[in-house]
Structure 1
Amino acid sequence: MSGPSGRSSTRFAGRNTIERLARFGFCARGAVYCVVGMLAVLAAVGAGGKAGDSAGALRFVLLGPLGPWIVGLIALGLWGFAAWRLVEAVTDADRRGTSPKGLAVRGAHLISAGIYAGLGLTAASLALGLGLQSDGDGLQDWTAWLLAKPYGRVAVALIGLGVVGGGVGFLVKAARGDVTERLALDAARQAWAEPVGRFGYAARGIAFLIIGGFVVVAAWYQASSEVKGLSGAFQALRAQPYGRVLLAIVAAGHVAFGAFGLIQARYRRIDAPDIDQADDAVARVVRPGA
């Protein structure tokens, strides 16, 4: 292809299968968080929405025109995003390196791969007419299972602290990080993309702090019922003084996070090995001298 439009089209479509999956995945994740945030904003202003989790957003989409088809496409996109996160973590496609910070980011990407693969399964089950539990119920089940194990209380506490740490990381990135460092943007586009990204990361940071706090409390009291997902975080905000305002701000931030995901789908630099090269990429990581 030639010309600006041709280059743009190529960048969006991707150069290989994994890159295309990644871009499709950023789209799907962005769409989910846009819906999550919009529903929570409507709830905050009393316009009939519900401040729920990602599964609730998928159920909302399911009720719309062509709902099962759209949710099915979202499921495929979320699995594509999970595949990209796995590739990032294992092959170091983003050149994070093996420093403690780099390994921490890659480890977080590995966890993210599992989370979005699970959310993709939820979306697929809804598209096929099956019902799965909400995020909060699933978290409570896993917490109850883990608390019943030897040293389970310690494990749950460490997980909660890890989620809190992720929230701190999001807030630091929102305040001081270069949120557009991996985006191919000119100055004009960066001028509006950067504040969208910062607002989105700040909102996710606040949500992670609250969710992680719930998990730590569950460990302290050895009660899995204390664990809440994103819907619980929204409810906790709503219960505070000026709760409607707080919920509206954080909900709008989730819309911004979703919108930033759509920006990433379009402009992110993705240097991914193609599927037929993935084995070699993994081998280079496992056996550096190979």
Structure 2
Amino acid sequence: MNLSSISSHLPSTQPQWVKRFAKFGLVAKGVVYCLVGILAFMAAFEIGGSSERNLNKQGVFRFILDQPFGQFLLALVAAGLVCYALWRLTQAFLDNEHKGTDAKGIGRRLGYAFSGLVYGFLAYGSFRMVLGSRGNQGGDNSRQTLVRELLEKPYGQWLVGLIGLSIIGIGLYQIYRATSGKYLKNVRTSSIKTELKEMIIRSGKIGYIARGIVWGLIGYLFIKAALESNAREAGGSSSAFAFLEKASYGSFLLGAVALGLFCYGIFMFVRARYEVINTNS
């Protein structure tokens, strides 16, 4: 894929809308992850009859929709996710981050494009709910359908296994970003109040580690589905939460990961306030 040739046919970025879209998108992403963390924590300790089933982004959208003024609130979140998706796509195709066209740069830009597409589909699903469709009962079902179809293909088990390894790789990269401090690369930490800086930096590190753990568990479930040739073993975040819940001291493990995801959501608000948003292609 020649990203440079694609970007040459796109209009140049307008700094103000790129910044506004990025900030609004990061806030929306923060809201979603904070709610995922809260609902997962409630499920861990059975608060309010909550369950780890359907604890994914679609489940969060349904939760928002069930609140007073739910349609309006969900529409705001959906609009924010559209903004986030568009920001990621401008990073991919207009190369605002100046990643270049070497192998490493193309890899990073493809990652931005993938993120943009994922959040674009999430925004589409949330808008459908705003317009009256309750959506399917969870992202795990769609993943299991995909795995089932792949397992029916020649070398299907290998394909599913490779997907699982790729997902684990994403999880490990999230943990690497946390431990190396790269998650702070574009954040103006010098502008954060001194009394809050250490807490904010720590919350971001915990958040990225928790997110990496969830990605790693999802990848493990895909590999398990490949080894057992059973699509029902695959799943998304709700399956990962259920896996944790079944482990020894599962409630405490799930509770810890839930708090980490809440911290990740909080750090998205920090990024919205203090991140340097590059706008020049």
Give TM-score, length-normalised by structure 1.
0.84
Which of 193, 210, 218 lines up with 1:211 in the alignment? 218
SS of 2:119's equivalent? helix
SS of 1:115's equivalent? helix
Matches within 5 A, 1:20-99: 20-48=20-48, 49-51=50-52, 52-98=55-101
Distance change >3 Å, CA 39–CA 181, structure 1 → 2: same
Partners of 1:180 and 1:193 within 8 A in 2 = no
Which of 258, 271, 275 lines up with 1:268 in the alignment? 275
Count of residue pairs the alignment pairs up: 261
Which of 163, 175, 178 lines up with 1:174 in the alignment? 178
Distance in 2, matches of 1:146 and 1:22, equals 35
Partners of 1:76 and 1:120 within 8 A in 2 = yes
SS of 1:183's equivalent? coil
Deviation at 1:257, TM superposition (A): 0.7
Deviation at 1:243, TM superposition (A): 0.7
Distance in 2, matches of 1:212 and 1:106, equals 22
Deviation at 1:99, TM superposition (A): 5.1
> Where does the alignment leave 5 or more consecutive residues of structure 1 unmatched?
1-13, 274-280, 282-290
> Where does the alignment leave 5 or more consecutive residues of structure 2 unmatched?
1-13
Is the deviation greater in 47-56 or in 68-77? 47-56
Is the deviation greater in 262-271 or in 95-104? 95-104
- Percent identity (aligned): 34
Partners of 2:62 and 2:134 within 8 A in 1 = no
Deviation at 1:17, TM superposition (A): 1.4
Partners of 1:167 and 1:204 within 8 A in 2 = yes
Partners of 1:180 and 1:190 within 8 A in 2 = no
Cα offsets for 1:232-252 (capped at 9, x unmatched) = 111111111111110110000
Which of 107, 110, 135 lines up with 1:107 in the alignment? 110
Distance in 2, matches of 1:42 and 1:95, equals 42
Partners of 2:21 and 2:83 within 8 A in 1 = yes
Deviation at 1:204, TM superposition (A): 0.4
Cα offsets for 1:24-61 (capped at 9, x unmatched) = 11111110010010011112223123331111111111
Distance in 2, matches of 1:98 and 1:195, equals 34
Matches within 5 A, 1:129-148: 129-133=132-136, 134-148=138-152
Deviation at 1:127, TM superposition (A): 1.0
Deviation at 1:155, TM superposition (A): 2.6
Partners of 1:174 and 1:202 within 8 A in 2 = yes
Letter in 1 for 2:116: A
Partners of 1:179 and 1:194 within 8 A in 2 = no
Letter in 2 for 1:38: I
SS of 1:256's equivalent? helix
Distance in 2, matches of 1:16 and 1:223, equals 49
Specify the alignment match of 2:9 in structure 1: none
Query: Where in structure 1 do 4 or more consecutive aligned residues deviate above 4 Å?
Result: 98-101
SS of 2:184's equivalent? coil
- CA-based RMSD: 1.9
Specify the alignment match of 2:10 in structure 1: none
Deviation at 1:81, TM superposition (A): 0.9
Partners of 2:30 and 2:267 within 8 A in 1 = yes
